[in-house]
């Protein structure tokens, strides 16, 4: 592919955007010399990045030039699974054999027997979902419900607020109180942490709500170590105290909220004593937090998806999102709540993805969080799977089922990735993907308010192709003649946003391409809901949600206990609640094949409280087995009071084949879904831990 950047031999700088699934979406300054990336730095002129990068991306050249990068299309020879062998084939052969199998399957079983499986391995608007979606829509493949990360929390939050919008993170420096709720910012949202630190310097108090004393919690003024999956109870307890003690902004409530009376009645069931018992914390912690929150106008709650991974994950975000409307914190530019900024962007999803290309009636939908079960039991059966931007064999819950599903001899699997991941070992055809440094893209963010361009810095390595070009070629191979399959990446970028939307006033693709990044034209330093006008159906902050009622769901915030606790027999047999949050040096399974980052993380580890370790005779640094009825994996024990009693914490996500026992923590996680949004329940997982 033509790539002007690559032809230049002199040293020059290229503007990039980090494509990884992280709220920070950093702007990159990539130094290229003789057609090679020699340095990757954070762009200094992009306010959210402010010249700083996480360690993973600062060493990005190592990822691009990793000796195990896939460079050519491959066909598997021999059996599926760990140790699989592949031979090189041409792109022409690869595309022809995929098209031929897809035609056969479509003729025999219907095209819905073909399932795309992708997530946010590449979060650019082109890389995430554009030509690929057009291709699968036109093909008539099954649709995929992308639920593995955020769907529960997003739905719960939106039920209250109306969209994935919140306070402007740049305002948080002026907050007096910041509550970091289920988020390890130092690890997974570093650039927000920078702003929180500035607020702290200016006198803000920081409180972390997390079962673990994480790197973030440690640096806060206070840490509330509740049990996993109890956040909605805590939020209801706080609302109980706020209402009981009249720590309310009545004017705000009357004018800008819906359902206050019903909410007041609901929270009567959540007095601090009951909530303390549910959450495993003191009543004083609840009373004090409510008083502090209720008496601070500039109070910002940074909530994150860490609290949406148990049975009641939707309710958790829904309940937390109610708080600022009670106290009127929304009146302050540095007050309110933020889960994600993604709803601020006028993305032209239909133009990018072309759902109108789907046949009628529209094909079935497969939930990506139950892929193991569906590969084994879906009716009609799944006959082909096309995986890109994701590594399901390592990241999807209940791995034993996922592995059995992928191992099916009659399943035709295509994988497109930069590396031979755990999933790639099950591919019939394995295709090489470019990194973002080798392709053009346009980006939104879910942690700030800027749009960004990612310019290609170098030519594609080997015969690697971007997702867009792969599906463009496949569409041609399948004979799809619609004009949209001829759109170039530049065309796709131009189509990605509704440039006429006021939030992009004065911007066009051409201007953005020249400038590199732009802040959405939202007013600065203002409070988005100071005067209400929530993007809900009622225009108010909805304590009572008619939409949830219509969907047959509980219309008021409530506590939904973790599913596995509710089964007392299970809880007796497997007394530890396992959570598996992100490791600092990995990004899901990305970077977890890098020698540098593996050395940092050492080996799979499970953190146990000294009390839980001693009753099991487990010493620090000794090998242990973590198990339940679904499976087991091994790890090194870290005995530490950083986790609260009753909780086991194993950072994720390790590659199975790079782990000593060939397994990872998803052996024990479950495919049960959340209360809303069909989300995965990774942290609703009881286990027992024993010495090996």
Ligand X SMILES: Nc1nc2c(c(=O)[nH]1)N[C@H]1C(S)=C(S)[C@@H](COP(=O)(O)OP(=O)(O)OC[C@H]3O[C@@H](n4cnc5c(=O)[nH]c(N)nc54)[C@H](O)[C@@H]3O)O[C@H]1N2
Residue 678 as a binder of ligand X (CB under 6 A): the answer is no
Nearer to Mo ion, 156 or 516 (CB): 156
The least distance separating ligand X from the CB of residue 301, rounded to whole angstroms, comes to 11
Instruction: Select from ligand X, Mo ion, none the partner in contact with residue 306, using the beta carbon and a kind-dependent cut-off of 5 to 8 Å.
Output: ligand X
Q: Per CB under 6 A, which of residues 164..223 are in contact with ligand X?
A: 181-184, 187-188, 209-212, 214
Contact between 340 and ligand X (CB under 6 A)?
Answer: no
- We find the least distance from the C-beta atom of residue 647 to ligand X, in angstroms, to be 8
Are the C-beta atoms of 64 and 435 separated by less than 8 Å? yes
Q: How far is the CB of 502 from ligand X (least distance, A)?
A: 29
Distance CA 155, CA 142 (A): 23
Rule CB under 6 A: choose which of 28, 30, 53, 231 binds ligand X.
231
Q: Min. distance of Cβ 460 from ligand X in angstroms?
A: 11
The answer to whether 21 contacts ligand X (rule: CB under 6 A) is yes
The CB-of-56 to ligand X minimum distance in angstroms stands at 7
Alpha helices per DSSP H over 86-213: 91-109, 125-128, 131-139, 151-161, 185-188, 190-201
Q: Which is nearer to ligand X, 248 or 429 (CB)?
A: 429
Query: How far from the centroid of its chain's Cα atoms is residue 380's Cα?
Result: 29
259 binds ligand X (CB under 6 A): no
Q: Contacting ligand X (CB under 6 A), which of 97, 590, 628, 674?
A: 590
Q: Which two tokens stand for residue 50?
A: 């402010």
Q: Which one among 682, 686, 687, 689 touches ligand X, defined by CB under 6 A?
A: 682
416 binds, among ligand X, Mo ion, none (CB under 5 to 8 A by kind): ligand X
**Could you tell me if 691 and 618 are in contact, meaning their C-beta atoms sit under 8 angstroms apart?**
yes
3-class SS of residue 495 = helix
Q: How far is the CB of 511 from ligand X (least distance, A)?
A: 26
Per rule CB under 6 A, is residue 17 in the interface with ligand X? no
CB of 458 to ligand X, least distance (A): 15
Stretch 378-397 residues interacting with ligand X (CB under 6 A): 388-391, 395
Does the footprint of ligand X cover residue 638 (CB under 6 A)? Answer: no
Q: Which positions from 652 through 671 interact with ligand X, judged by CB under 6 A?
A: 652-653, 665-666, 669
Q: Does 310 bind ligand X (CB under 6 A)?
A: yes
Q: Which is nearer to ligand X, 149 or 512 (by Cβ)?
A: 149
DSSP class of 74 = E
DSSP characters over 396-464: SSSHHHHHHHHT-TT-EEEEEESS--TTGGG-SEEEEB--GGGS-EEE--SSSSEEEEE---SPPSTT-
For residues 534 and 330, give the distance between their C-alpha atoms in angstroms, rounded to a whole number. 11
Residue of the chain from 584, 609, 657, 663 that contacts ligand X (CB under 6 A): 584
Number of H helices, E strands in the chain: 27, 27
Of the pair 37, 149, the CB lying nearest Mo ion is at: 149
- By C-beta, is 215 or 547 nearer to ligand X? 215
Min. distance of Cβ 121 from ligand X in angstroms? 2
Residue with tokens 């600062």: 58
CA dist., res. 599 & res. 281, Å (int): 36
Peptide bond into 626 cis (omega under 30): no
Place of tokens 């929180």: 196
Alpha-carbon distances of 305 from 124, 189, 300, 470, 682, rounded to whole Å: 20, 12, 16, 32, 11
The answer to whether 173 touches 150, Cβ cutoff 8 Å, is no
Would you say 18 or 37 has its CB closer to Mo ion?
18
- Nearest approach, Cβ of 184 to ligand X (angstroms)? 4
Nearer to ligand X, 412 or 419 (CB): 419
Residue 422 binds to ligand X (criterion: CB under 6 A): no
State yes or no: residue 320 binds ligand X (CB under 6 A).
Answer: no
Rule CB under 6 A: choose which of 232, 370, 477, 588 binds ligand X: 588
Return the number of other C-beta atoms located less than 10 Å from residue 476's C-beta.
14
User: What's CA 260's distance to the chain center, in Å?
Assistant: 32
Which CA distances in Å does 338 have to 388, 505, 528, 574?
Answer: 30, 24, 11, 35
Q: Tokens 């954070």 — which residue?
A: 42
Looking at beta carbons only, is 453 or 527 nearer to ligand X? 453
- For ligand X, the binding residue among 35, 346, 582, 645 (CB under 6 A) is 582
Residue placing its CB nearer to ligand X in the complex, 332 or 340: 340
Residue in 122, 147, 367, 413 binding ligand X, rule: CB under 6 A: 122
Residue placing its CB nearer to ligand X in the complex, 21 or 249: 21
Residue 681 binds to ligand X (criterion: CB under 6 A): no
What does the chain come to in residues? Answer: 692
Pick between residue 175 and residue 339 the one whose CB is nearest to ligand X. Answer: 339
Tell me how far CA of residue 594 lies from CA of 52, 367, 504, in angstroms: 21, 30, 39
Q: Which of 164, 398, 421, 594 binds ligand X (CB under 6 A)?
A: 421
Q: Which residues contact 352 (CB under 8 A, 6 or more apart)?
A: 125, 126, 129, 130, 133, 492, 495, 496
674 binds, among Mo ion, ligand X, none (CB under 5 to 8 A by kind): none
**Helix 283-294 and helix 272-279, axial crossing angle in degrees, nearest 10:** 110
589 binds ligand X (CB under 6 A): yes
- The verdict on 337 binding ligand X (CB under 6 A) reads no
Residue 258, Cβ density class (10 Å: 0-12 exposed, 13-18 middle, ≥19 buried): buried
* Token pair in block for residue 151: 């769907």
**Nearest distance from C-beta of residue 679 to Mo ion, angstroms:** 11
Q: Of the two residues 148 and 453, which places its CB atom closer to ligand X in the complex?
A: 148
Tokens 């131009």 sit on residue: 494
Q: Which is nearer to ligand X, 411 or 685 (CB)?
A: 685
Q: Which does 188 bind (CB under 5 to 8 A by kind): ligand X, Mo ion, none?
A: ligand X
User: Which residue pairs, CB below 8 angstroms and at least 24 apart, start in 42-46?
Assistant: 43/15, 43/516, 43/517, 45/516, 46/450, 46/452, 46/516, 46/517
In the complex, which residue's CB is closest to Mo ion? 149
414 near ligand X, rule: CB under 6 A: no
Interface segment toward ligand X; rule CB under 6 A; list 84-92, 224-232, 283-291, 551-559:
224-232
**197/521 with CB nearer ligand X:** 197
Q: What angle do CA 64, 68, 70 make, to 5 degrees?
A: 80
The residues in 447-506 that bind ligand X, with binding defined as CB under 6 A, are: 467
For residue 507, which of 442, 446, 439 has the smallest C-alpha distance?
442
Give contact residues for Mo ion (rule: CB under 5 A): 149
Q: Residue 460: name its binding partner from Mo ion, ligand X, none (Cβ under 5 to 8 Å by kind).
A: none
- Given a contact cutoff of 8 angstroms between Cβ atoms, the answer to whether 501 and 346 are in contact is yes
Report the residue number whose CB is nearest to ligand X.
121
Is there a cis peptide before residue 554, judged by omega within 30 degrees of 0?
no
Measured from the CB atom, the residue of 214 and 257 that comes closer to ligand X is: 214
By CB under 6 A, is residue 153 in contact with ligand X?
no
The listed partner (Mo ion, ligand X, none) that binds 367, CB under 5 to 8 Å by sort, is none
Interface positions with ligand X (CB under 6 A):
21-22, 119-122, 127, 148-149, 181-184, 187-188, 209-212, 214, 228-229, 231, 304-307, 310, 388-391, 395, 416-419, 421, 433, 467, 579-584, 586-590, 652-653, 665-666, 669, 682-683
């Amino acid at each position: 592919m033509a790539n002007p950047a690559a032809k230049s031999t002199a040293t020059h700088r290229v503007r990039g955007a980090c494509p990884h699934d992280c709220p920070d979406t950093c702007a990159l300054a990539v130094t290229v010399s003789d057609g090679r990336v020699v340095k990757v730095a954070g762009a200094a002129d992009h306010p959210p990045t402010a010249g700083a990068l996480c360690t993973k991306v600062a060493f990005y050249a190592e990822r691009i030039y990793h000796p195990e990068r896939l460079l050519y299309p491959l066909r598997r020879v021999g059996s599926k699974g760990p140790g699989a062998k592949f031979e090189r084939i041409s792109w022409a052969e690869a595309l022809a054999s995929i098209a031929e199998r897809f035609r056969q399957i479509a003729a025999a079983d219907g095209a819905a027997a073909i399932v795309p499986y992708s997530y946010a391995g590449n979060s650019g608007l082109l890389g995430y979902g554009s030509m690929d979606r057009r291709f699968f829509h036109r093909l008539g493949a099954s649709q995929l419900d992308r639920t593995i990360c955020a769907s529960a929390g997003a739905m719960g939050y939106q039920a209250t607020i109306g969209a994935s919008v919140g306070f402007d993170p740049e305002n948080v420096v002026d907050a007096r109180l910041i509550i970091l709720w289920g988020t390890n910012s130092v690890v997974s949202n570093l650039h927000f942490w920078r702003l929180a630190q500035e607020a702290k310097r200016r006198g803000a108090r920081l409180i972390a709500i997390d079962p673990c004393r994480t790197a973030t919690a440690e640096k806060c003024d206070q840490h509330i170590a509740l049990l996993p999956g109890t956040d909605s109870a805590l939020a209801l307890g706080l609302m109980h105290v706020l209402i009981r003690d009249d720590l309310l902004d009545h004017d705000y409530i009357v004018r800008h909220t819906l359902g206050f009376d019903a909410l007041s009645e609901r929270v009567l069931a959540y007095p601090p004593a009951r909530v303390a018992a549910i959450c495993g914390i003191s009543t004083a912690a609840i009373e004090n937090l409510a008083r502090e929150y209720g008496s601070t106008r500039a109070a910002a709650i940074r909530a994150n998806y860490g609290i949406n991974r148990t049975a009641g994950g939707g309710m958790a975000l829904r309940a937390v999102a109610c708080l600022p409307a009670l106290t009127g914190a929304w009146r302050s530019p540095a007050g309110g709540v933020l889960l994600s900024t993604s709803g601020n962007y006028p993305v032209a999803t239909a133009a990018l993805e072309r759902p109108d290309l789907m046949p009628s009636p529209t094909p079935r939908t497969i939930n990506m969080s139950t892929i193991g079960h569906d590969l084994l039991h879906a009716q009609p059966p799944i006959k082909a799977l096309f995986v890109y931007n994701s590594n399901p064999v390592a990241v999807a819950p209940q791995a034993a089922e996922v592995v059995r599903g992928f191992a099916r001899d009659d399943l035709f699997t295509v994988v497109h990735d930069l590396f031979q991941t755990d999933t790639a070992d099950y591919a019939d055809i394995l295709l090489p993907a470019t990194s973002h440094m080798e392709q053009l893209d346009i980006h939104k963010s879910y942690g700030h308010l800027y749009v960004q361009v990612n310019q290609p810095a170098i030519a594609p390595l080997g015969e690697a192709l971007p997702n867009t070009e792969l599906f463009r070629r496949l569409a041609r191979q399948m004979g799809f003649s619609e004009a949209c399959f001829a759109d170039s990446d530049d065309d796709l970028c131009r189509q990605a946003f509704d440039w006429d939307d006021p939030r992009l006033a004065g911007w066009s693709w051409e201007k953005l391409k020249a400038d590199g990044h732009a802040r959405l034209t939202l007013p600065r330093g203002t409070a988005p809901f100071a005067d209400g006008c929530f993007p809900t159906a009622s225009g108010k902050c909805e304590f009572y949600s008619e939409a949830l009622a219509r969907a047959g769901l509980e219309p008021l915030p409530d506590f939904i206990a973790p599913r596995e606790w509710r089964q007392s027999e299970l809880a007796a047999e497997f007394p530890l609640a396992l959570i598996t949050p992100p490791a600092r040096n990995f990004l899901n399974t990305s970077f977890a094949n890098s020698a540098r980052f593996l050395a940092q993380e050492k080996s799979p580890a499970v953190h146990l409280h000294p009390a839980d370790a001693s009753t099991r005779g487990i010493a620090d640094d000794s090998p242990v087995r973590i198990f339940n009825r679904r499976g087991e994996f091994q790890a090194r024990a870290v005995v530490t009071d950083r986790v609260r009693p009753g909780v086991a914490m194993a950072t994720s996500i390790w590659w199975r084949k790079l782990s000593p026992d060939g397994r990872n923590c998803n052996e024990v996680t479950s495919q049960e879904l959340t209360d809303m949004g069909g989300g995965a329940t990774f942290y609703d997982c009881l286990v027992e831990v024993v010495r090996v």
